[in-house]
Amino acid sequence: MKIKHCLVSYLFLFFTYQASSQATKKVRPTPPPQPTSKVWSAEKANVWYNEHNWITGANFIPSNAINQLEMWQESSFDPETIDRELGYAEGIGFNTMRVFLHSLVWQQDSVGFKNRINKYLDISNKHNIKTIFVFFDDCWNKEPKPGVQPPVKPGIHNSGWMQDPGDPYSKDTTVYPSLEKYVKSILRGFRTDKRILLWDLYNEPGNNNKRDSSMPLLRKVFSWARDINPEQPVSVGLWAWDFYELNAFQSANSDVITYHNYEDVPLHSRVMDLLKTTGKPLICTEYMARTRKSTFKDIFPLLKKYNVGAINWGLVAGKTNTMYAWDDPIPTGDEPKEWFHDVFRKDGTPYKKDETELIKKFTSQISPDISLDKKAFQSTIDGKNTNLYLLRNRNNYTAAITNYGGRVVGLWVPDKKGKLTDVVLGLASIREYQQPSGGAFGALIGRYGNRIAKAKFSLDGKVYSLAANNGQNSIHGGVKGFQKVVWDARQTSDKTLELTYLSKDMEEGFPGNLLVKVTYTLNDNNELKIDYEATTDKKTVVNLTNHSYFNLNGEGSGPITDHTIQINASSYTPVDATLIPIGKVEPVAGTPLDFTTPATIGSRINDTHEQIKIGNGYDHNFVLNKAGPDKLQLAAIVTGDKTGIEMQVFTTEPGVQLYTSNFNKGMYTLKGGGKDDYRSAFCLETQHFPDSPNQPAFPSTVVTPGKAYKTSTVFKFISTK
């Protein structure tokens, strides 16, 4: 939106006053308005901000809408265009859109409007995009009307954009009760919605020469929002630095600091420096006007460097005419020599490819400590899109998960010195995970984790034959187990990823249509929790697990034989020469499999015991000491000898498979450049026992219609000193 020239001297005076207990009368003789008790503290705001990846995106309106009403009214609401154009945004790594609402649409059809908001959020969530919703607006045309919107005026910037509620209504207190109902209705309906990042209550209050006359409505909208108290932060962006009263009120009452700036690097940097004196995180919710030297090339890296949210004006050039400059109309409608705003043409072609490449370069960077290219995980397999999803908790623990095979690609946790360490082996791209030799690195395993003897089992007298993909046996669900399918992904928050997959009847020989849901959560207790759920329409067998390869000294750091391990298991299931359980449960006491007290993994890994020789090390199911079924209990504790990173494993499952990479041969180049060498990682696969469908004495893995399969596993990390 058009703003006044950035008067840094005014800004300096304003924030000098804010920071000082004794402001001079030259600045202002009266103190700034005091915040309400519900305003977030700087500490709370920064905790919230640090839970999110770097916030990047654009102000969004579909290219076929001239203004907010045309976007949201039922007759012109266009989910297909929204879907397509948000796809452009996702393609360059944008994760946030700022979207304007309008009170007139709510007054026309409140239920329908909220349904359309929900539909929009479903679409944006599909593209891994969160939304900043804007309520009121003092910019551009002052007399909004419902119904058919005005035609585009060729070459004129935002010729049809409408204020909300408009003039004189923004100053007419008799309409405030209606506006209050509108604001509270929307906030109440979406106050806990994780798809919404932030509520921007009022865009550029005081614009169009309204100045302080916008203060009454500004005060009211903050009050209404605090009455509802949404889980998301609320803010109103600073934009005109000589609006002392408005700026003071906005700054004092915003949970996080948002602002607009269309200036070059020196002036923008000065604004950031001064805004940082609030102690709260910053999000620039409007920037990028090429002819004013506010460009992606200069400003985007600046915002990235200082971890300031970056929301430019304009995504797809269209009816808003924001490719044209504010005060430089082209009445012929010819395309300007240099676009003012916007990133894409309607067909998805970038206006400047070097700009979108720059954006992708910066948005694909996870953090300075993490080297992964998100673009390398964006592909299409079997007609479904793959991607890389990042989970991060408030302590900067980060998990990278792809929906191809539901794989944990990397997991970064701090070591005893605070250095982030990637403790999971993974590959650098989808293409590498698709290698014919496969590899189960980090994968979700199903329908049946581990082995089934002679690749067959029977249910109710019917024999089901499976793929023999491990000698004469079946392992990990067959030739195309769950580790080789594309899961439907839904990231519900920065900490949670939901994956779903429908395994069809007789897929890989297993009966029943099995609907599977797996939820990864990286919580603030430094736990990566995996919740498994499944339902079937036919009697079947299910045994789901995760096959992450861990090295607590860091991926590619060498053998794990000096890691210390303790397993809460007094017994195990001995195996035959093909690693199939022989049907017995035997004590670990007196064997190299006794980890009831801590020992290094390598202390007995080359023992002459028959079970060790069969597995060429450890590849055995341990029967956990359980107080009762379905309870989350400790399974194992492992500590890295070099990093001091301790991993505790909890599960509701009756068993855990310890595998020590006995058959790894260094054939894979890992994402950090190392190799998957012999005994360079260990797995702790929580599970029901191998071959349970053929072993009636083992806990049953049969699942029947009407009874859901549910298990949970937690990997908790502690940095020991």
Express each pLDDT in 154-179 by its tens digit: 999 999 999 999 998 888 899 999 99
Backbone φ and ψ for 601, nearest 5 degrees, come out as -60, -35
Give the residue ranges of DSSP H helices in 37-175: 42-50, 68-72, 79-91, 103-108, 110-126
Mean pLDDT of 404-422: 93
Nearest alpha carbon to residue 318 among 161, 483, 193: 161
Q: Which amino acid is at 485?
A: V
Nearest alpha carbon to residue 602 among 614, 591, 618: 618
Chain centre to alpha carbon of residue 75: 33
Mean pLDDT of 202-219: 95
Taking the C-alpha atoms of residue 99 and residue 133, their distance in angstroms, rounded to an integer, is 5
Indicate the pLDDT class of residue 419, thresholds 50, 70 and 90: confident
Taking the C-alpha atoms of residue 34 and residue 32, their distance in angstroms, rounded to an integer, is 6
Q: What's the N-to-C CA distance of the chain in angstroms?
A: 52
Taking the C-alpha atoms of residue 645 and residue 648, their distance in angstroms, rounded to an integer, is 10
Residue in 102, 260, 685, 688 annotated catalytic: 685
For 296-317, write each residue's pLDDT tens digit: 999 999 999 999 999 999 999 9
pLDDT score at 24: 33
For 230-274, write each residue's pLDDT tens digit: 999 999 999 998 999 999 999 999 999 999 999 999 999 999 999
Q: Which amino acid is at 671?
A: K
Taking the C-alpha atoms of residue 587 and residue 572, their distance in angstroms, rounded to an integer, is 6
Mean pLDDT taken over the chain: 92
Indicate the pLDDT class of residue 631, thresholds 50, 70 and 90: confident
Distances (CA, A) of 352 to 37, 341, 357: 46, 12, 9
Taking the C-alpha atoms of residue 74 and residue 8, their distance in angstroms, rounded to an integer, is 43
Q: What percent of the chain has pLDDT over 70?
A: 93
Whether 547 is a known active-site residue: answer: yes
pLDDT score at 15: 47
Taking the C-alpha atoms of residue 427 and residue 548, their distance in angstroms, rounded to an integer, is 12
Buried b (16+ CB within 10 A) or exposed e, 397-411: bbbbbbbbbbbbbbb
Taking the C-alpha atoms of residue 305 and residue 67, their distance in angstroms, rounded to an integer, is 33
CB 678 within 8 A of CB 661: yes
Chain centre to alpha carbon of residue 180: 33
Q: Which residues contact 483 (CB under 8 A, 6 or more apart)?
A: 405, 406, 407, 438, 440, 443, 444, 445, 476, 477, 547
CB 620 within 8 A of CB 657: yes
Backbone φ and ψ for 195, nearest 5 degrees, come out as -75, -15
Asked if the model's pLDDT at residue 373 lies above 60, the reply is yes
pLDDT score at 365: 62
Residue in 476, 547, 563, 620 annotated catalytic: 547
pLDDT score at 361: 85
The number of C-alpha atoms within 13 Å of 261 and in the hemisphere containing its C-beta is 31
Taking the C-alpha atoms of residue 49 and residue 55, their distance in angstroms, rounded to an integer, is 9
Taking the C-alpha atoms of residue 203 and residue 237, their distance in angstroms, rounded to an integer, is 7
Q: Which amino acid is at 505?
A: D
Q: Which residues contact 178 (CB under 8 A, 6 or more apart)?
A: 103, 107
CB 551 within 8 A of CB 423: yes
Helix (H), strand (E) at residue 548: none
CB 376 within 8 A of CB 387: no
Taking the C-alpha atoms of residue 81 and residue 104, their distance in angstroms, rounded to an integer, is 22
pTM, two decimal places: 0.66
DSSP helix, strand, coil percent of the chain (3-state; round to 5): 25, 30, 45
Indicate the pLDDT class of residue 487, thresholds 50, 70 and 90: very high
Sign of CA dihedral 88, 313, 119, 187: positive
For 506-520, write each residue's pLDDT tens digit: 999 999 999 999 999
pLDDT score at 20: 38
Q: What percent of the chain has pLDDT over 90?
A: 84
Q: Which amino acid is at 213?
A: S
Nearest alpha carbon to residue 529 among 546, 544, 549: 546
Asked if the model's pLDDT at residue 630 lies above 90, the reply is no
* Tokens found for residue 491: 């990231």
For 569-590, write each residue's pLDDT tens digit: 999 999 999 999 999 999 999 9
Asked if the model's pLDDT at residue 538 lies above 60, the reply is yes
Mapping DSSP onto H, E and C, the string for 193-243 reads CCCEEEEEEEECCCCCCCHHHHHHHHHHHHHHHHHHCCCCCEECCECCCCC
* Tokens found for residue 493: 């928050």
CB 360 within 8 A of CB 326: no
Mean pLDDT of 462-480: 95
Taking the C-alpha atoms of residue 464 and residue 505, their distance in angstroms, rounded to an integer, is 12
Out of 2.70.98.10, 3.40.50.11540, 2.160.10.10, 3.40.50.880, which CATH number does the structure's domain 374-559+658-719 have? 2.70.98.10
Mean pLDDT of 548-555: 96
* Rg of the chain taking only CA atoms, in angstroms: 29
Pick from 34-43, 419-428, 473-482, 549-558: least confident: 34-43
Whether 85 is a known active-site residue: answer: no
Backbone φ and ψ for 506, nearest 5 degrees, come out as 75, 10
Sign of CA dihedral 331, 336, 342, 343: positive
Taking the C-alpha atoms of residue 11 and residue 8, their distance in angstroms, rounded to an integer, is 5
pLDDT score at 574: 97
Q: Which amino acid is at 387?
A: N
Asked if the model's pLDDT at residue 16 lies above 50, the reply is no
Sign of CA dihedral 548, 552, 554, 558: negative
| 496-499: long-range pairs with CB below 8 Å, 24+ | 496/391, 496/520, 496/521, 496/522, 497/389, 497/391, 497/401, 497/521, 499/403, 499/406, 499/444
CB 315 within 8 A of CB 60: yes
For 62-102, write each residue's pLDDT tens digit: 999 999 999 999 999 999 999 999 999 999 999 999 999 99
pLDDT score at 721: 65
Residue range(s) of every CATH 3.20.20.80 domain in the chain: 55-363
Residue range(s) of every CATH 2.70.98.10 domain in the chain: 374-559+658-719
Taking the C-alpha atoms of residue 275 and residue 6, their distance in angstroms, rounded to an integer, is 14
Taking the C-alpha atoms of residue 405 and residue 388, their distance in angstroms, rounded to an integer, is 11
Q: Please, what CATH class does the domain formed by 55-363 belong to?
A: alpha beta
